[in-house]
């Protein structure tokens, strides 16, 4: 049975978090009513042909290029990409065809315990198109509506080398890319909102071969999960074709989420020829060296460096480090807790279990969360000092999450301080032993479960506040008498 | 270097122009006359010459990322005057877009 | 002398001295229009009479209070119909924009409005500024006031004819390959193409972004300087408009031109020039020498490549700039189309005339896969060489003198069958657009009763000295004041 190698190249589009569009001062705020964030320029009105370049958009693109280890062009120029579509108001898109802003970079992904670099062929800046909306079914709708709010929004396009080898690698790449871009705060990378989009070029070739096979371009994958499933499906589809001895038709395919398969797209009216040429209306830009330095310096510790530091300095297992550095906010939070409570593994465990659980179940972002790093630090401190037990602490944490109150205040308010006084506990244990003679007998006849039951009774009496280790010790002593 | 009728058809399609048969023949002939005149550019030695992509020496014209006020009345007027306006409020509208969508399988 | 025969400056002085009111100027011009416009056909759209008069009255009112916004306040003018005028149809002489009313004003429209000049109407032109005779207008051709069987030139033929026929005191045109200068030459008026970037293109409906410039068409050089003063200057809405100090061009007029060094490139006196044109221009050269100007022959070796270069660069940019005319957001939309592709095909095929289609296709071809390097890229390289020719000459010379057009006005219909012959009308004018340098055409004589134009090309932003030179030369040439004797019945009376 012939084996095949999968060859995938990804094209990712990311909307930048600038306040205005690329060539005009229209707002880019999300959620506006249709055609309210437009002007003669981005609508392509006659006479409205003179664009003004947004400095922030360039800054963000350069920042991204640097964060992805790319070389930056000395001169920044823009070109026109000409084609006709209803969501393209001018009949051309301003992009960077000849000299993309960044080239020759890479992204690291961690796979099966090792690190792999996925090459970034190029990163460039371009303007987004408007949105085409269909009434009901695409084929049968009487007309399509166009909303140009999005037309002209700055978009960064990131193209990888064909070095992605599986759906899993694609998913890991996207996660890492998203993490990096969110770390440097140039985009919120939300696939569900469309601020991050991914297309894949997929082909198969026989194992060991040097020649790439015919590729298909896969579009319409609107979440990380879709990307994974779409690629998986397409690879399998191509594999079956090749196994039959047939050739894969190079074409564009569309991922159908509901049916779980890819479909060929209707061929275009005429084959694409974008006739790119340098836009004569946009003067070239020479980024000053000092400005480039400033941008480079503004890049925070990126996920990979942070990961390495967490593993090395804090001696955390890679899995923990990966989760903690998944987002900048999480990593920042972690670092902040450590300044007050320096037990990395404890903090890591707590964050990965309790904290993440609460964040995910309530769909809260860390930035919105009420718990401050110092409060978690304090809570863990209190646990260490045995002021409260672990179990109580979980409850306190949930309360902290809901109300934003400090742990000390919650403990005081609810009287949750752990009972560790031997005398007090002794008395309670005695009373429990007296009240449960049958259990005591069970224990003596070898039923160890009885011990658990008795401990449970003590905890019940003390409303969970008894120091469990102490209870166990004292109970054992007493019962064995 | 002759331009064929087929090439003229292709170019017309790229430019979204529908030509009649007579027009295709006429334009093909005219193209060839014009292009022959244009071919005198081949007399020039252009090997080490930089292309003049921009007329001026002007460079580095950038804008701050500050939102300007919304031009609501302007846009309302534009929408009102747009073709297809009778169809929807707030949207431009076009006849069905069938290009580039999935085929029925 | 009728009021409408005055120059803009003389009219302005008369207003200043309270010899005349703006209303009277307007009435005079409207009267003239009703007399001759049917034979000239220079306008696409005339503003309503009452609107114009009300504007004039307002200016008179302000003047009475001692306020006037500029020296030309109250003077009637026209704008070429590719310059946006808010709420007033701006058609580019095309069916595809037949009912288009821009929601804003072009920069030059605003400037002239602020200066208090009075807009009489929008001038006819070749469709989308593509042409050299105004025969490509989708509506009707304009007639040359000197001989109504002949063309006024193009693409700003309407703007030039209106000034020549005294229907307005001045107008604005746009020049991409000679479209202000060539009609000026054919109609016996002054036409200036400023340095690229001097006048903001905001609101000018683009043909070729790297070549288009807006310029005045006037009855004499002084008027030209005054209008230029109003429209020139940096505009933050046009990132290709150059930030420069405002200049007073009229302050250059009257200064001596002795000692100016003028170059005469031999290449402009070879291919295709008619003998009568050569003679007329050479006579002017002789006069220059009499004025103490040094004139020397030079060579600008890449001149003959300008036209081929222009028809690649210009058409390529146009094919892109005109892609937005698709019937989606504005303008004409072919009715009852089943799908988007049909919409594009029908709208564009019905909405565009044949010259526009020809150029769009030529430009598309020049940019297309497999041809980009051989055509478009090479033309950009040729452009560099053409500009270098100018840079080299301007090392040693102040100005360049050439004929504007190889022939005087030709008969309507004569060049329509062969596009190439039509394109050759621009043989002397396209170089200045490609190099981005300023150039002006002034009338220098008559050939068989038809005006001949002389072209002066200058260094970037040297409009002041160009105007200085032309002002002095104009006095000697004696053309000023010569008028086509067009009358109500269109018959040409004696031409002196």
Q: What is the pLDDT of residues C168-199, one digit of tens each?
A: 999 999 999 999 999 999 999 999 999 999 99
Share of chain C above pLDDT 90, in %: 85
Give the helix/strand (H/E) hosting C423: helix C419-423
Residue numbers in C near B7 (CB within 8 A): 365
Query: Could you give the residue numbers annotated as active site of C?
Result: 80, 155, 179
Q: Which residue's entry shows tokens 């002054």?
A: C190
Q: For residue C340, is pLDDT > 70?
A: yes
Q: How far is C368 from chain B (nearest CA, A)?
A: 8
Q: Which residue from C432, C348, C322 is spatially nearest to C383, judged by alpha carbons?
A: C432
Say what the pLDDT of residue B104 is: 44
pLDDT at C323 over 70: yes
Looking at the complex, report in whole angstroms how far the Cα of residue C292 sits from the nearest Cα belonging to chain B.
Answer: 34
Q: Do residue A86 and residue B71 have CB atoms under 8 angstroms apart?
A: no
Q: In angstroms, rounded to a whole number, what is the distance separating the alpha carbons of residues C114 and C107?
A: 11
- b/e A168-197 (16+ beta carbons within 10 angstroms → b): ebbbbbbbbbbbbbbbbebbbbebeeebbb
**pLDDT over 60 at C351, yes or no:** yes
Q: Quick one: tokens of C141?
A: 């051709």
Q: Is pLDDT at C221 greater than 50 in this prediction?
A: yes
Please classify residue C411 by burial: count the beta carbons closer than 10 Å to its beta carbon, then call 0-12 exposed, 13-18 middle and 19+ buried.
exposed
Specify which of A49-58, A451-460, C101-110, C236-245 reaches the highest per-range mean pLDDT. C101-110
> Measured between CA atoms, how close is C271 to chain B, in angstroms?
14
Scanning the structure block, which residue is given the tokens 């037309």? A151
CB–CB of B27/B19 below 8 Å?
yes
The pLDDT value recorded for residue A443 is: 80
Task: Using pLDDT thresholds of 50, 70 and 90, give the confidence band for residue C496.
Answer: very low
* Contacts with B94 from chain A: Cβ below 8 Å: 86, 143-144, 146
Contact B34 C419 (CB under 8 A): yes
pLDDT higher than 70, residue C89: yes
Cβ burial A147-158 (10 Å sphere, 16+ → b, else e):
bbbbbbbbbbbb
B83/A contact by beta carbon, under 8 A: no
In DSSP terms, which residues pair with A155 in a beta bridge? A15, A126
Q: Which of A46-50, A169-173, A279-283, C102-106 has the lowest mean pLDDT?
A: A46-50
Tell me the whole-structure pTM to 2 decimals.
0.89
Q: What are phi and psi of A81, to 5 degrees?
A: -115, 110
Q: Which of A288-302, A429-443, C296-310, C369-383 has the lowest mean pLDDT?
A: A429-443
User: Is A144 in the C-facing interface, judged by CB distances under 8 Å?
Assistant: yes
**What torsion, rounded to 10 degrees, do the Cα atoms C447, C452, C454, C455 define?**
-140
DSSP-assigned letter for residue C269? G
Facing residue for B79 by CB, picked from A35, A86, A142: A35
B66, with CB counted inside 10 A (0-12, 13-18, 19+), is exposed
pLDDT of B22 > 50? The answer is yes
DSSP A203: E
Residues C358, B8 contacting (CB under 8 angstroms):
no
Task: Report which DSSP code applies to C293.
Answer: -
Q: Which pLDDT does position C487 carry in this prediction?
A: 62
Three-state DSSP class for A123? strand
Which residues in chain B are closer than 8 Å to C382, comparing Cβ atoms?
41, 44, 46, 49
Residue B80: closest C-alpha in chain C: C330
Which of B8, B10, B63 is best to mutate for the A interface (most A CBs within 10 A)? B63
Omega of the bond prior to C155 within 30 degrees of 0, cis?
yes
Domain limits of chain B?
Answer: 5-42
Contacts of C221 (CB under 8 A, 6+ apart): C190, C253, C442, C467, C470, C471, C474
Residue A141: predicted pLDDT: 63
What's phi and psi for C493, nearest 5 deg? Answer: -85, -170
pLDDT of residue A54: 94
Task: Supply the DSSP symbol for C238.
Answer: -
Q: What is the pLDDT of residues B25-73, one digit of tens each?
A: 999 999 999 999 999 999 999 999 999 998 887 788 888 899 887 777 8
pLDDT tens-place string over residues C415-453:
998 888 899 989 999 999 999 999 999 999 999 999 999
* Cα Rg, chain C, nearest whole Å: 21
Closest C-alpha to C144, from C496, C493, C495, C490: C490
DSSP assignments along C117-143, one per residue: -EEEEEEP-SGGG--SSSTT-SS----
Q: Does A127 touch chain B (CB under 8 A)?
A: no
Which CATH code of 3.90.1300.10, 3.50.50.60, 3.40.1170.10, 3.10.20.70 fits the domain covering C3-254+478-495? 3.90.1300.10
Q: How far is C328 from chain B (nearest CA, A)?
A: 7
Q: What's the full length of chain B, in residues?
A: 105
Contacts for C145 with CB less than 8 Å, ≥ 6 apart: C36, C40, C152, C161, C164, C165, C187, C484, C486
Counting residues of chain C whose pLDDT is more than 70, the rounded percentage is 98
Query: How far apart are the C-alpha atoms of A32 and A245, rounded to whole Å?
Result: 52
Tokens, residue B12: 């017309």
pLDDT tens digits for A417-429? 877 788 888 888 8
pLDDT greater than 80 at residue A286 = yes
Q: How far apart are CA C306 and CA C265, in angstroms?
A: 14
Tell me which residue has tokens 């972690």.
Answer: A334
State the Cα–Cα distance between residues C236 and A295, nearest whole angstrom.
27
* Model confidence band, residue A438 (pLDDT cutoffs 50, 70, 90): confident
* Cβ neighbours of C490 (radius 10 Å): 15
d(CA A459, CA A438): 19
Q: Residue C458, SS3?
A: strand
Contact C328 B94 (CB under 8 A): yes
CB A198 within 8 A of CB A231: no
Residues from chain B contacting residue A86 (CB–CB below 8 Å): 94, 97
- CA–CA separation, B23 vs B8, rounded Å? 10
Picking from C193, C208, C340, C391 by the largest number of B CB atoms within 10 A of its own CB, the best residue to mutate is C340
Q: Which of A398-402, C22-26, C190-194, C225-229 shows the lowest mean pLDDT across its residues?
A: A398-402
* Residues of C in Cβ contact (< 8 Å) with A268: none
* C333, C327 Cβ separation under 8 angstroms: yes
Among candidates C159, C146, C220, which has minimal Cα distance to C189?
A: C220
Long-range contacts of A467-472 (CB under 8 A, 24+ apart): A467/A386, A467/A389, A467/A418, A467/A419, A467/A420, A467/A425, A468/A389, A468/A391, A470/A420, A470/A422, A470/A425, A471/A425, A471/A429
**Ordered structural domains, chain A, with CATH:** 4-290 (no CATH), 301-414 (no CATH), 422-480 (1.10.10.410)
Q: Looking at the domain that runs over B5-42, which CATH code has it been given?
A: 1.10.20
Give the residue ranges of DSSP H helices in A100-257.
167-183, 224-243
A: neighbours with 3+ CB pairs under 8 Å? B, C
- pLDDT at residue number C26: 98
Asked if C196 is an interface residue toward chain B (Cβ–Cβ < 8 A), one would say yes
Q: How many whole angstroms from its chain centre is CA C30?
A: 23
Which residue is closest to B69 within chain A, CA to CA? Answer: A26
Nearest Cα neighbor of C97 from B87, A293, A47 is: A47
Residues ≥6 apart with Cβ < 8 Å to C396: C261, C263
Q: Which A residues in the span 211-240 are in contact with C, Cβ-Cβ below 8 Å?
A: none
Q: Where are the alpha helices (DSSP H) in A18-117?
A: 55-67
Q: CA A462, A467, A472, A476 torsion: positive or negative?
A: negative
DSSP string, A323-341: HHTSSHHHHHHHHHHHTT-
Q: Compute the average pLDDT of residues C12-33.
A: 97
Angle at A247 between CA A243 and CA A253, to 5 degrees: 105
- Say whether A92 and C367 touch across the interface (CB within 8 A): no
How many residues make up chain C in this entry? Answer: 496
Q: For A23, which DSSP code? A: S
Backbone angles phi, psi at C192, to 5 degrees: -120, 135
Q: Do B71 and A39 touch (CB under 8 A)?
A: yes
Q: pLDDT band for position A383 (50/70/90)?
A: confident
Helices (H), A8-116: 55-67
Mean of the per-residue pLDDT values of chain A: 89
pLDDT over 90 (residue C1): no
Separation between Cα atoms, residue C309 and residue C303, nearest integer Å: 10
Give the dihedral sign, CA C415/C417/C418/C419: positive
Question: Considering Cα of C311, then C313, then C318, then C319, what sign does the dihedral take?
Answer: positive
CA dist., res. C379 & res. B41, Å (int): 8
Among A44, A202, A186, A187, which residue's Cα sits nearest to residue A129?
A44
- pLDDT the model gives residue A423: 85
- Nearest-angstrom CA–CA distance, C238 and C345: 32
**Cis peptide before A91, with omega less than 30 degrees from 0?**
no
C144 vs C152: CA distance, rounded Å: 4
Strand C43-46 with B62-63, pairing: unpaired
> Which chain C residue shows the shortest CA-CA distance from B13?
C345
Would you state the pLDDT for residue C216?
98
Helices (H) and strands (E) in chain B, counts: 3, 2
C461: contact with A, CB 8 A cutoff: no
């Amino acid at each position: 049975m012939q084996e095949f190698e999968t060859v995938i190249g990804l094209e990712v589009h990311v909307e930048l978090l600038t306040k205005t569009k690329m060539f005009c001062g229209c707002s880019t705020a999300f959620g506006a009513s249709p055609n309210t964030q437009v002007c003669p320029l981005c609508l392509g009105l006659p006479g409205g042909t003179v664009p003004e370049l947004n400095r922030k958009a360039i800054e963000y693109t350069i920042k991204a290029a640097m964060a992805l280890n790319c070389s930056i062009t000395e001169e920044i120029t823009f070109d026109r990409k000409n084609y006709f579509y209803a969501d393209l108001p001018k009949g051309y898109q301003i992009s960077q065809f000849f000299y993309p802003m960044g080239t020759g970079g890479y992204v690291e992904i961690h796979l099966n315990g090792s690190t792999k670099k996925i090459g970034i062929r190029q990163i460039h800046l371009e303007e987004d198109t408007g949105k085409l909306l269909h009434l009901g079914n695409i084929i049968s709708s009487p007309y399509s509506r166009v909303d140009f709010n999005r037309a002209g929004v700055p978009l960064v396009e990131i193209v990888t080398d064909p070095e992605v080898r599986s759906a899993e690698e694609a998913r890991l790449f996207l996660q890492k890319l998203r993490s990096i871009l969110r770390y440097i705060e140039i985009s919120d990378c939300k696939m569900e909102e469309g601020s991050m989009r991914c297309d894949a070029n997929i082909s198969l070739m026989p194992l060991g071969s040097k020649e790439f096979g015919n590729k298909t371009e896969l579009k319409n994958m609107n979440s990380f999960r879709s990307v994974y499933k779409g690629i998986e499906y397409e690879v399998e589809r191509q594999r079956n074709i090749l196994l039959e001895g047939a050739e894969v038709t190079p074409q564009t395919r569309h991922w159908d989420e509901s049916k779980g398969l890819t479909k060929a797209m209707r061929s275009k009216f005429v084959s694409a020829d974008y006739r790119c040429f340098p836009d004569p209306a946009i003067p070239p830009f020479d980024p000053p060296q000092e400005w480039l330095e400033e941008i480079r310096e503004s890049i925070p510790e990126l996920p990979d460096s942070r990961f390495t530091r967490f593993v090395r300095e804090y001696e955390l297992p890679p899995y923990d480090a990966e989760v903690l550095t998944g987002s900048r906010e999480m990593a920042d939070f972690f670092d902040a807790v450590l300044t007050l409570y320096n037990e990395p593994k404890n903090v890591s465990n707590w964050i990965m279990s309790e904290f993440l659980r609460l964040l995910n179940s309530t769909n809260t972002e860390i930035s919105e969360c009420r718990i401050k790093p110092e409060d978690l630090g304090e809570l863990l401190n209190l646990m260490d000092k045995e002021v409260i037990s672990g179990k109580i602490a979980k409850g306190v944490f949930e309360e902290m999450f809901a109300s934003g109150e400090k742990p000390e205040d919650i403990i005081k308010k609810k009287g949750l301080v752990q009972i560790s006084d031997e005398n007090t506990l002794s008395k309670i244990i005695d009373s429990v032993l007296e009240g449960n003679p049958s259990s005591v007998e069970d224990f003596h006849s070898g039923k160890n479960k009885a011990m658990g039951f008795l401990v449970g009774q003590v905890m019940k009496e003390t409303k969970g506040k008894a120091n469990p280790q102490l209870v166990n010790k004292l109970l054992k002593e007493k019962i064995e008498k | 270097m002759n331009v064929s009728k087929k090439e003229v058809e292709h170019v017309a399609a790229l430019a979204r122009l529908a030509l009649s048969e007579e027009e295709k023949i006429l334009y093909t002939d005219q193209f060839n006359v014009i292009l022959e005149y244009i071919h005198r550019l081949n007399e020039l030695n252009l090997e080490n010459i930089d292309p003049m992509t921009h007329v001026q020496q002007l460079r580095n014209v950038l804008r701050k990322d500050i939102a300007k006020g919304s031009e609501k009345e302007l846009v309302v007027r534009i929408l009102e005057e747009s073709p297809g306006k009778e169809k929807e409020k707030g949207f431009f509208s076009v006849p069905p877009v069938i290009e580039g969508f999935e085929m029925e399988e | 002398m009728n009021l409408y025969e005055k120059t803009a400056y003389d009219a302005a002085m008369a207003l200043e001295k309270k010899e005349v009111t703006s209303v009277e100027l307007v009435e005079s011009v409207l009267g003239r229009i009703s007399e001759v416009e049917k034979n000239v056909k220079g306008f696409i759209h005339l503003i309503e009479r009452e609107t114009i008069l009300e504007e004039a009255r307002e200016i008179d009112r302000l003047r009475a209070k001692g306020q006037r916004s500029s020296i030309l306040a109250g003077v009637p003018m026209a704008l070429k119909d590719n310059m946006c005028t808010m709420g007033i149809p701006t058609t580019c002489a095309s069916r595809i924009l037949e009912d288009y009313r821009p929601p804003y004003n072009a920069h030059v429209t605003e400037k002239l409005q602020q200066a208090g000049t009075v807009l009489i109407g929008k001038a006819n032109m070749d469709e989308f500024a593509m042409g050299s005779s105004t025969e490509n207008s989708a509506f009707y051709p304009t007639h040359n006031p000197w001989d109504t069987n002949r063309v006024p030139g193009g693409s700003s033929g309407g703007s030039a004819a209106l000034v020549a026929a005294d229907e307005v005191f001045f107008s604005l045109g746009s020049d991409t390959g000679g479209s202000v200068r060539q009609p000026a030459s054919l109609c016996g008026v002054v036409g200036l193409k400023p340095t690229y970037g001097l006048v903001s293109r905001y609101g000018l409906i683009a043909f070729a972004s790297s070549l288009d410039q807006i310029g005045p068409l006037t009855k004499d050089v002084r008027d030209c300087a005054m209008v230029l003063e109003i429209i020139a200057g940096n505009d933050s809405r046009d990132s290709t408009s150059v930030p420069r100090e405002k200049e007073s061009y009229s302050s250059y007029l009257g200064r001596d031109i002795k000692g100016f060094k003028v170059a005469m490139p031999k290449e402009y006196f070879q291919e295709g020039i008619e003998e009568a044109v050569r003679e007329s221009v050479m006579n002017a050269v002789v006069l220059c020498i009499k004025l103490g100007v040094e004139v020397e022959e030079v060579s600008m070796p890449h001149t003959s490549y300008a036209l081929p270069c222009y028809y690649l660069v210009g058409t390529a940019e146009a094919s892109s700039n005109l892609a937005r005319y698709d019937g989606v957001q504005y303008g004409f939309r072919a009715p009852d189309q089943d799908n988007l592709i049909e919409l594009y095909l029908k709208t564009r095929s019905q909405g565009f005339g044949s010259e526009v289609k020809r150029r769009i296709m030529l430009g598309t071809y020049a940019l297309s896969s497999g041809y980009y390097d051989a055509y478009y890229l090479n033309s950009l390289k040729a452009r560099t060489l053409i500009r270098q020719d100018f840079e080299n000459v301007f090392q040693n010379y102040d100005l360049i003198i050439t004929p504007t057009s190889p022939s005087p006005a030709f008969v309507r219909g004569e060049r329509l069958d062969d596009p190439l012959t039509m394109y050759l009308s621009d043989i002397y004018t396209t170089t200045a657009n490609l190099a981005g340098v300023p150039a002006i055409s002034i009338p220098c004589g008559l050939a068989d009763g038809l005006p001949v134009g002389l072209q002066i090309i200058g260094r970037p932003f040297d409009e002041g000295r160009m105007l200085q030179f032309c002002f002095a030369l104009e006095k000697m040439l004696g053309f000023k004041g010569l008028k086509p004797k067009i009358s109500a019945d269109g018959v040409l009376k004696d031409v002196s």
